[in-house]
């Protein structure tokens, strides 16, 4: 099928390459000429395992190309729109500038019978406002939210755990749902749940899912705060409640909390949209979710301070991690960097290391010192804090090896990922989050 993908950021670039990899003829369109040049050369502009391979294959096969020219969307049967919806500069709501611009620019190239599938995460009600622009070209607007996780984006796109398509009522909607079934034929053939809803529900599914995940993380971090006041261990608590299949162990990892380009801005935009709808109190708890999350960053800083007898001025502190989570070079709203910046603000001599995210981190926080090599970063440290649980730090760094590099013997485990007993046995002061 001929497909266009408008917006070649994280979502769009992966989507375009994934659609080509399952046999479609795809054109990816973005305003940024640098991004287009890199994608056209088969190079991923960001770190995402598996993406370079399918990009190269797609470009080599002739089924995948990228352009800055919107007119090349003409002739595609399905147009996916996956542009960004960042948080507004002056508030919590989502900034829909890019979505509105993408639809306005695409409209002249739509033909009767085309399908436009919105993929961006948008406030509920957005699709309804965009429908007239699409329908006036004789095309049909559907909403097809994306649930990919960074680090697993290729797998999540080609083989998702569910597909959701919001369609308008009537024949046009039913036909559009059938076309989307064809687009996702390999996943549909595998029996992947394919849910057809109305437009508003599909928009809500996306933000509800992210709100639930954020709430789950903040729930366990709230328990960590209680554990800290009582001497209990939140990691044991998470394991114990996680065995209840109704609760489930996943996303009960207590620590410095969630970041990234999705969860933080999505819960804020959801709360803002609910206010506009006169239903602010229905999701008022999301403000608490946000507040608990941000408190954990401060808590991590306090733990470092306490472990160093509240004297960090001039102390060398190695920060293991900069990305908002492992398997990603994304530093958007990264709790790891937030902690590093706060420690530096207190006068510490902060050294940050990360296997993938240093370049991005340096651009945003040039005031921090970055060292690529993990061991070099650890050399001479008075204290260490693990903030992104890359295997290089969580699994592969033994306390004995760390002891051969550092001066001090203090480790704060911001992700509760280390073997506390092993570090203590090696003579370290191990400090977890929500653990005695």
d(CA 112, CA 372): 53
Helix (H, G, I), strand (E, B) or coil at 182: helix
Residue among 70 and 254 whose Cβ is closer to ligand UGA: 254
Q: Closest separation between CB of residue 376 and ligand UGA, Å?
A: 25
The closest residue (CB) to ligand UGA is: 253
Spatial CA neighbour of 317 closest among 268, 249, 368: 368
User: Looking at beta carbons, which pairs linking 94-97 to residues 24 or more positions away fall under 8 Å?
Assistant: 94/121, 94/122, 94/123, 94/265, 94/269, 94/272, 94/273, 96/122, 96/123, 96/126
Nearer to ligand UGA, 143 or 324 (CB): 324
Name the minimum Å distance from CB 262 to ligand UGA.
3
* CB closer to ligand UGA out of 76 and 274: 274
- Residues forming the site for ligand UGA (CB under 6 A): 121, 146-150, 210, 213, 217, 251-253, 255, 257-260, 262-263, 324-325
> At 16, is the secondary structure helix, strand, or coil?
helix
Q: Which of 164, 187, 217, 262 is catalytic?
A: 262
Total Cβ atoms within 10 A of residue 391: 12
Q: Does residue 8 carry a catalytic annotation? A: no
Q: Min. distance of Cβ 46 from ligand UGA in angstroms?
A: 12
CB of 286 to ligand UGA, least distance (A): 15
CA quadruple 264, 330, 68, 202: dihedral sign? negative
Q: Whose CA is closest to 124, among 205, 214, 197?
A: 205
DSSP 87: B
Output the smallest distance, CB 115 to ligand UGA, in A: 22
Cα Rg for the chain, rounded, in angstroms? 23
Decide whether 257 or 399 has the Cβ nearer to ligand UGA: 257
The alpha carbon of 267 is separated from its chain's Cα centroid by a whole number of angstroms, namely: 13
The β-bridge relationship of strands 316-320 and 64-67 is unpaired
CB of 146 to ligand UGA, least distance (A): 6
Asked if residues 16 and 28 have their Cβ atoms less than 8 Å apart, the reply is yes
Active-site residues: which are they? Answer: 262
């Amino acid at each position: 099928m001929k497909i266009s993908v408008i917006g070649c950021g994280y979502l769009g670039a992966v989507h375009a390459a994934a659609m080509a990899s399952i046999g479609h003829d795809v054109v990816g369109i973005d305003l940024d000429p640098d991004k287009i040049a890199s994608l056209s050369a088969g190079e991923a502009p960001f770190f995402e395992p598996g993406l370079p391979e399918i990009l190269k294959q797609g470009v080599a096969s002739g089924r995948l190309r990228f352009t800055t020219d919107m007119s090349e969307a003409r002739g595609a049967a399905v147009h996916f729109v996956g542009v960004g919806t960042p948080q507004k500069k002056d508030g919590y709501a989502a900034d829909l500038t890019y979505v509105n611009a993408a639809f306005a620019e695409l409209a002249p190239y739509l033909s009767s019978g085309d399908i436009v599938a919105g993929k961006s995460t948008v406030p509920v009600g957005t699709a309804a406002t965009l429908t007239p622009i699409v329908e006036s070209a004789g095309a049909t607007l559907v909403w097809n939210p994306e649930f990919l996780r960074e680090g697993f984006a290729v797998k999540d796109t080609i083989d998702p755990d569910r597909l959701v398509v919001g369609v308008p009522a009537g024949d046009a909607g039913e036909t559009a749902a059938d076309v989307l079934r064809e687009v996702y034929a390999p996943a549909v053939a595998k029996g992947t749940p394919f849910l057809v809803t109305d437009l508003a529900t599909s928009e809500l599914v996306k933000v509800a899912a992210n709100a639930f995940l954020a709430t789950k993380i903040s729930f366990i971090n709230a328990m960590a705060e209680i554990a800290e006041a009582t001497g209990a261990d939140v990691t044991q608590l998470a394991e114990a409640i996680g065995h209840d299949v109704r609760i489930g162990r996943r996303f009960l990892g207590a620590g410095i909390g969630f970041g990234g380009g999705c969860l933080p801005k999505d819960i804020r935009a959801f709360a803002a949209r609910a206010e506009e709808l006169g239903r602010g109190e229905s999701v008022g708890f999301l403000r608490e979710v946000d507040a608990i999350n941000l408190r954990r960053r401060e808590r991590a800083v306090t733990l470092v301070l306490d472990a160093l007898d509240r004297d960090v001025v001039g102390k060398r502190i190695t920060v293991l991690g900069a990305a908002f989570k492992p398997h990603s070079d994304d530093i958007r709203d990264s709790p790891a960097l937030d902690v590093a910046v706060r420690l530096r603000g207190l006068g510490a001599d902060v050294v940050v290391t990360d296997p993938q995210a240093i370049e991005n981190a340096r651009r945003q926080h040039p005031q921090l010192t970055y060292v690529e090599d993990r061991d070099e970063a650890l050399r001479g440290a008075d204290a260490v804090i693990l903030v992104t649980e890359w295997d290089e730090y969580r699994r592969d760094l033994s306390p004995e090896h760390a002891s051969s590099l550092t001066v001090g013997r203090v480790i704060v485990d911001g992700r509760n990922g280390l073997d506390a007993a092993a570090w203590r046995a090696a003579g370290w002061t191990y400090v977890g989050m929500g653990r005695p």
